[in-house]
Amino acid sequence: MRLVVWKNEDEVAEAAAKLLSLSLQKRPSLVLGLAAGRTPLKLYQRLVHLYQKGKIDLSRATFFGLDEFWGLAADHPLSFAHYFEENLFGLLRINRSKVFLLDGKAKDIESHCHWYEKMIAACGGLDIQLLGIGLNGHIGFNEPGSSFTSRTRLVRLTAETIASQKPSFHQLGMKPPQLALTMGIATILKAKNILLLATGKTKATIIRRALEGPITPDVPASCLQGHPSVYIFLDEASSRGLTRKDFFQKGKNSNLETFEWPGE
């Protein structure tokens, strides 16, 4: 696990964008798993900016969404499909036939989840899975207690996760969804490389538990400790709880050009 602490969320986004663009240069047909949520927004803005300046080309890349609220159609303003459209796909040139998203309205859940796993495998597996982390340690919507052998499936969201979604759904006069589709922990761990981003002081406690605590389904993100190729990019605020300072590198001392994903 390579842990890099950057000064603030702008630096985290900048570094993540650089890592992804270097990866795209090496492998233009990158298979990229994408997270939604607040954390990667600035990264997506930077990718769009790099695209506008002609510095990156995503037209040969393949995309898989990490999760989706159950019951929301792709055009619902709070669906993750809509989020990706608004923040990424609609703003740059991509190959639409290479975008795979979980369908919150799928008729046959089991076969839809099976199809998703099959498509990931058919594309050669995820080269890089981008992750955020929930306050309870969830990755994707794998809530505490999720099995490390879990695959793409329908899950029940915890009260905490539902509460965190309340403000945005209330604005539309809706109750937040109770269920979601998500890649499983085993699906995520099968990615060749993982890039987890966390920013802000509210994430400090869970970052410490996930990175320095025991590997346990109680803290789903702790499973990443066992993955052979993980980058964790934090800002100073989210790294404050870490005690083993020797295990991480300050962003200013790290040269992203020399970063190599294993298996290259």
Instruction: Name the residue among 212, 213, 222 with its Cα closest to residue 248.
Output: 212
Catalytic residue among 9, 11, 68, 136: 136
By CB under 6 A, tell whether 138 contacts ligand F6R.
yes
* Chain residue at closest Cβ approach to ligand F6R: 132
Radius of gyration for the alpha carbons in the chain, expressed in angstroms and rounded: 17
Which amino acid, residue 189? L
Shortest gap between Cβ of 134 and ligand F6R (angstroms)? Answer: 4
Nearer to ligand F6R, 104 or 134 (CB): 134
* 184 belongs to the binding site for ligand F6R (CB under 6 A): no
Residue 38 sits in the site that holds ligand F6R (CB under 6 A)? yes
| Closest C-alpha to 15, from 262, 211, 151, 196 | 196
Based on the residue annotation, tell me whether 114 is a catalytic residue of this protein.
no
Nearest C-alpha neighbor of 45 from the set 9, 96, 73, 81: 9
Q: Is 8 a catalytic residue?
A: no
Please give the Cα distance from 150 to 65 (Å, whole number): 17
- Residue 251 lies near ligand F6R (rule: CB under 6 A): no
Minimal distance, residue 102 CB to ligand F6R, in Å: 10
- Whether 263 and 23 have beta carbons less than 8 Å apart is answered as no
94-109 exposure pattern, b = at least 16 Cβ within 10 A, e = fewer:
beeebbbbbbbebeeb
140 binding ligand F6R? (CB under 6 A): yes
Stretch that binds ligand F6R, among 2-10, 22-30, 137-145, 242-250 (CB under 6 A): 137-145
Whether residue 143 lies in the annotated active site: yes
Pick one of 15, 16, 24, 36: the residue that binds ligand F6R (CB under 6 A).
36
- State the catalytic residue, choosing from 9, 11, 14, 67: 67
Q: Does 33 sit near ligand F6R (CB under 6 A)?
A: no
67 is catalytic: yes
**What torsion, rounded to 10 degrees, do the Cα atoms 123, 192, 127, 245 define?**
160
Q: In whole angstroms, what is the distance from residue 207 CA to residue 47 CA?
A: 25
Report the interface residues with ligand F6R, using CB under 6 A. Answer: 35-39, 66-67, 80, 132-134, 138-141
